[in-house]
Amino acid sequence: MWVTSGFYTHHHHHFRNPSKPPSSAIPTAVAMSTSHENKQSHYSEATPILTENYPIPLSPQLPLISKQIELNRATIATSNSQLFSLSKTHIIYEDEFLLAVNKPQGIYCDNVLTSLQSQNSVTAELHLANRLDRDTSGVMLITKSHKIASKLVKAFTDHKVKKTYIALCTGFVPDWKTITVRSGHGRSKFGAWRVYGFSDAGRGLPGGSVVREMETSFEVLSVNGKGSFREVSELGFEGSSLVVVEEKAVKIDGGDGDDRNEIVVRAYPRSGRTHQIRLHCQYLGISIIGDVKYEGVYEWDGMIHDGHHLHAETLSFDHPVTGVHVMLRAPLPQWANQALQLQP
């Protein structure tokens, strides 16, 4: 059911700075969408009053175009993943307890594990210590025994494992060099993951799930090829500006009025929520290239992008057996080398 567009626009721009007209760069379909449960909870007389108490998501629904694209990508990834064979070149690190691989884009984690099991004599106890989205490439850690697996799971849960990601985004040039975003994260029954207000953490959602906290720090590495690749800072950022999310994102006009900039950021997720970096990039107005679920461009620089450009760059932790500090690093994919103008 669609209501007149004026209604949606009004609803969407409610949090905008009234002195500033909404940026024309936002695709109208996306700018005008509000969540299905929002409409239901506030405007349908047939809905029980109860739904009034649900927190309202602050990021838009999935764009309609994303459904078909995602379906196509999943089909291709399924056949590619079934054919996938792990080779020595994928292995970043191995000892008798752990194995780390550089997962390619467009391959499901579970198929990497399956391929490894078919080649390995100790198949029974191989376990994925971390999972990456289908289109996210980079460091994936596999444990070789149940005992090590449970130790690492605990380390991840206790935030003892530090991770960094590289993302290739488009949008207005950020007015920050580093920033930390703190928000809620959740989805209502069968829905997409969405950003919620930080103060909504702990509140229930339709379908019985709960809004959880999520936090990510970002640093800008380059804009339109200008910038530099810096080494990962394990200390995090002192003095990084903090954004605590309580309102819909205000799309800020970068002054030059041009949102067609290519921005490389490094993300330091402090929590491990599903699609966390993708959601926070969307919230900051720098959606990841190819990430059609979260308003990323599908076509860029004269090319169609068949997956999102997000790479799990490093994973660091204390070794569960030896206690030695380990930092695993996955070589950067071609798109990152190009964008950062590095020689691969």
Which one is catalytic: 95, 110, 133, 253? 133
Question: Can you give the pTM of this predicted structure?
Answer: 0.81
DSSP per-residue string spanning 255-321: SS----EEEEEEEEESS--TTHHHHHHHHTT-PBTT-GGGT--SEETTEE-SS--EEEEEEEEE-TT
- pLDDT value at position 34? 36
Cα–Cα dist 341/44, whole Å: 53
Cα–Cα dist 209/130, whole Å: 22
Active site residue 133: yes
Per-residue pLDDT tens, the chain, 344 aa: give them. 333 223 222 333 333 333 333 333 333 333 333 334 443 334 344 444 445 589 999 998 888 888 999 999 999 999 999 999 999 999 999 999 999 999 999 999 999 999 988 887 656 689 999 999 999 999 999 999 999 999 998 998 888 999 999 999 999 999 999 999 999 999 988 788 999 999 999 999 998 999 999 999 999 999 998 987 888 876 666 667 888 888 887 655 545 567 789 999 999 999 889 999 999 999 999 999 999 999 999 999 888 898 999 999 999 999 999 999 999 999 999 999 999 887 65
Phi, psi (deg, nearest 5) at residue 105: -65, 145
What domains does the chain contain, in order, with CATH numbers?
Answer: 64-340 (3.30.2350.10)
Sign of CA dihedral 244, 313, 59, 259: positive
Return all residues near 22 (Cβ < 8 A) that are at least 6 apart: 9, 13, 16, 31, 251
Which candidate, 69, 83, 197, places its Cα nearest to that of 135?
69
Return all residues near 144 (Cβ < 8 A) that are at least 6 apart: 96, 97, 98, 99, 122, 125, 126
Q: In the beta sheet, which residues pair with residue 317?
A: 326
- pLDDT value at position 287? 96
The one-character DSSP state at 14 is G
Cα–Cα dist 92/103, whole Å: 10
Cα–Cα dist 282/249, whole Å: 9
